[in-house]
Structure 1
Amino acid sequence: MDREAEIRKLGDLNRLIGIKEDARDRRFFEALLAPAFAISRASGANETRETFLDNVTLAGTGSHRSTKVTSVNVLGHHRAAVDCLVELDGKKYENHRIFVRSSVDSSWKLLAWANEMVAADVSPTRLKEIHGVYGLGAWRKWKEVEGLRPEDWDNLSATKCDSGRTSLQEAPSQAVERYEDLADIVSFLAVMNKNLTLLFRGQREDYPQLLPTLQRPTCPPDARWAVAGTMDANRAWYWNKLEGIEEKVREVLFEKGLPRWRHIRDSRFARWAVIQHYELWPTPMLDFSTSLRVAATFAFGEPEDFNSGEHKISNPSAEKSGFLYITGVDRLQSDLMALPDNDAVERSNGLVTVRLNAVCPPRAVRPHLQEGVLVCRYPFDGDWMLDPGRNDFSSRLIAKIKLIDRGSFWSPDFPRLTKRALLPTVDQLGDDLCSRVFPPNNDQPVGSKSAL
């Protein structure tokens, strides 16, 4: 079965459904609907095959609906799920449709269809929140009651909430001035969110969104791949060039010797992970770490090297601050070759989390030192790659911590990691990747005035 061809076929079919509804084409739906078809309307009404066919002649009167396919998932050989965003009379509806067929040679039949109206202030394609998590509210409540007898403890389940905010800057934060206090908060969150693996990301600035490089509005001015103009203006160009960058990376990795190499050959996620970690090109992946100390180090900016063998705590005359973001995932994906045959967890959550040291070769020093993981929306298609709203990881936020260093954040027991520990100066693989990706006379988007 040609999976890509099936994805295209299903995408075309679902766009055609909207056209046929507007045309009130009963014969089309008689051929499309499975015998046991059922639909749940946005109004809450449920219909069978017979009632849907009776009503379809009225469905499109005086209306024109637009259909945007947001995801197509081919499940095995005989099942598929398609999500669409339909706009009708100024209102938007999420449509979830289940298709089945008796064999790979037969036509797809629509088995089930569920609609839901999208509120005006909610992005219909936003990454799914984590339901029922314990965040800073639970931690603060615990600090109030932990000294009491167990029988007097408050029921912390009342503090459960869904992750995320519309804007990252609106999320409440907790100020922390010592690494030990940070570890205390994280220890509590790890115990309370037992079903999740916690991931950490450190940033100097608290931006409105948590976006991968491909979806950010601007390019970092010091990036090798930066061209004149904003990221918004050139995003399609960067996305179209990414596949060529992947091929160059694959060539270098194969030349250097890569054990268990099939994931690099067959999985774009694996190639994106290498590209993103080495900052070779903008990708749809966002960096996190399983190491709290690594993330806290980067929250204060690029780490420094110490000139002597003695530990340097901090400069008390220069206050520094940064932000640490905590999220959680159900599974760290190490064997990408298991996708898409074993991807129920990823499809349920709408994202895949790649353990970086499982996809990078042993000679790639940085990925193994930084304990990095990369998170990406799953499954992907070209439509949402160009839409930042679909790739904002703010919706996955469990806790935001503001780190403040007035000279005593780090200690001899918990020192800040050095630049040599996280960004080694000798990384031959990184050098070889850069020289292959950025040869002289690289092309650039139309209208750009700077060279890559």
Structure 2
Amino acid sequence: MRNLGNTKLWCHLSFVSGVQFTNKEIRESIPAKIFSFRELVQAVAKIANHNPDYSLFFRGQLKDYKLNSGSSSFYPTLFRSPGRSLSTRELEERYNKLEKCTNDLLIKLDELDIDSINKLKKFPELPWSILQHYEVCQTPLLDFTHSLRVAASFALNDAVDTANIFVFAFPYPNGTISYSTEEELLNVRLLSACPAEALRPHFQEGYLLGSFPSRVKRKQPFLDFGRRLIAKFEIPKKGFWNKDFHAIPKTALYPHNDEIEIICEKIKSKNGT
């Protein structure tokens, strides 16, 4: 994907200084502290207003993972290799496993007589998005959401003290799957990609994004979504939610009796992922 380069962006650092910053400065910065969900919504609204050319997406994480350079980093699972290099052979093995899991998923969905099966067969990124979202195997895609409440709930549900919300700037999506050749990005709207039998996407407002073209021979810096980071916030476990704005419980984010989840768990077990 293309980075935001030296473009000056209005971000979390701008609240104090009133000036704009580059993506590099944003990635190396300390998150701004936000103390309530209402405050977070207001902060993001201001960032969106100052950056109208981009559609904002969110990730909630316990930690701000950084490269040795000190820059926040967000690689898709297929390209992650903490503390070591990723060999070409290992990357190829991961792609092979992804292909096997994809074939297994399409076979299972075909057996269920899924309405959208032809579309899933035509665009490999669509079954990849299901495999990634249900955590079946490593893929070249990374989970995002359009919902701040979903992102904050994910971040804080397992937090002890604090967590992080990250804001990213992408092209505006269009349809089930959007390919931006200019930005070298693809964007899958999970709700449209998944069969109606999949419950989880209905509650998570999820999108899966990746670099385009989506298959590369080795890990490269252009695969890091930190290149699209526009803001980051630290939020507290205590006092963040109130009677007007409350967290989405895990039971809602991961609903029971999800038929696609059952299929994905079988594929995961079969392929040892």
TM-score range (shorter-chain normalised) is 0.7 to 0.9
Instruction: Say yes or no: does 1:133 pair with 2:25.
Output: no
SS at match of 1:382: coil
**Which residue in 1 is equivalent to 2:79?**
215
Q: Tell me the CA shift for residue 164 of structure 1.
A: 4.3
Q: Tell me the CA shift for residue 238 of structure 1.
A: 1.2
User: For the Cα contact (< 8 Å) 2:10–2:21, is it kept in 1?
Assistant: yes
How far apart are the structure 1 equivalents of 2:131 and 2:85? 18
User: For the Cα contact (< 8 Å) 2:162–2:236, is it kept in 1?
Assistant: yes
Amino acid at match of 2:31: S
**Which residue in 1 is equivalent to 2:250?**
419
SS at match of 2:128: helix
Decide whether aligned partners of structure 1 residues 191 and 275 sit closer, same or farther in structure 2, where only a CA change above 3 A counts: same
* 1:51-450 alignment, distance < 5 Å: 127-129=2-4, 131-141=7-17, 159-164=19-24, 168=27, 170-208=28-66, 209-218=73-82, 232=86, 234-302=90-158, 320-336=161-177, 343=179, 346-383=180-217, 386-405=218-237, 407-439=238-270, 442=271
User: For the Cα contact (< 8 Å) 1:165–1:397, is it kept in 2?
Assistant: no
Deviations 1:38-64 (A, max 9, x none): xxxxxxxxxxxxxxxxxxxxxxxxxxx
Amino acid at match of 1:180: R
RMSD over aligned Cα atoms = 2.4
User: For the Cα contact (< 8 Å) 2:86–2:219, is it kept in 1?
Assistant: no
Relative contact order: is structure 1 or structure 2 higher (C-alpha 8 Å, sep ≥ 6)? 2
Q: Tell me the CA shift for residue 132 of structure 1.
A: 4.0
Decide whether aligned partners of structure 1 residues 163 and 256 sit closer, same or farther in structure 2, where only a CA change above 3 A counts: farther
Amino acid at match of 2:20: K
How far apart are the structure 2 equivalents of 1:286 and 1:202? 12
User: For the Cα contact (< 8 Å) 2:136–2:267, is it kept in 1?
Assistant: no
Q: Tell me the CA shift for residue 186 of structure 1.
A: 0.7
Amino acid at match of 1:408: G
Q: Tell me the CA shift for residue 355 of structure 1.
A: 1.0
User: For the Cα contact (< 8 Å) 2:157–2:250, is it kept in 1?
Assistant: no
Number of residue equivalences: 264
User: For the Cα contact (< 8 Å) 1:204–1:301, is it kept in 2?
Assistant: no
How far apart are the structure 2 equivalents of 1:231 and 1:322? 28
Amino acid at match of 1:203: Q
SS at match of 1:434: helix
Larger radius of gyration: 1
User: Greater share of strand residues, 1 or 2?
Assistant: 1
Q: Tell me the CA shift for residue 218 of structure 1.
A: 4.7
Q: Tell me the CA shift for residue 250 of structure 1.
A: 1.2
How far apart are the structure 1 equivalents of 2:51 and 2:101? 38
Q: Tell me the CA shift for residue 241 of structure 1.
A: 1.9
SS at match of 2:236: strand
Deviations 1:225-256 (A, max 9, x none): xxxxx893633311222111111111222222
User: For the Cα contact (< 8 Å) 1:164–1:398, is it kept in 2?
Assistant: no
User: For the Cα contact (< 8 Å) 1:164–1:396, is it kept in 2?
Assistant: no
How far apart are the structure 1 equivalents of 2:16 and 2:42? 12
**Which residue in 2 is equivalent to 1:4?**
none
User: For the Cα contact (< 8 Å) 1:216–1:388, is it kept in 2?
Assistant: no
Amino acid at match of 1:324: I
Unaligned runs of 5+ in 1: 1-125, 143-158, 220-229, 304-318, 443-450
Decide whether aligned partners of structure 1 residues 231 and 300 sit closer, same or farther in structure 2, where only a CA change above 3 A counts: farther
User: For the Cα contact (< 8 Å) 1:204–1:321, is it kept in 2?
Assistant: yes
How far apart are the structure 1 equivalents of 2:138 and 2:85? 10
Identity of aligned residues (%): 27
User: For the Cα contact (< 8 Å) 2:106–2:117, is it kept in 1?
Assistant: no
How far apart are the structure 2 equivalents of 1:291 and 1:397? 16
Deviations 1:311-350 (A, max 9, x none): xxxxxxxx611111001211224233xx7xxx4xx11111
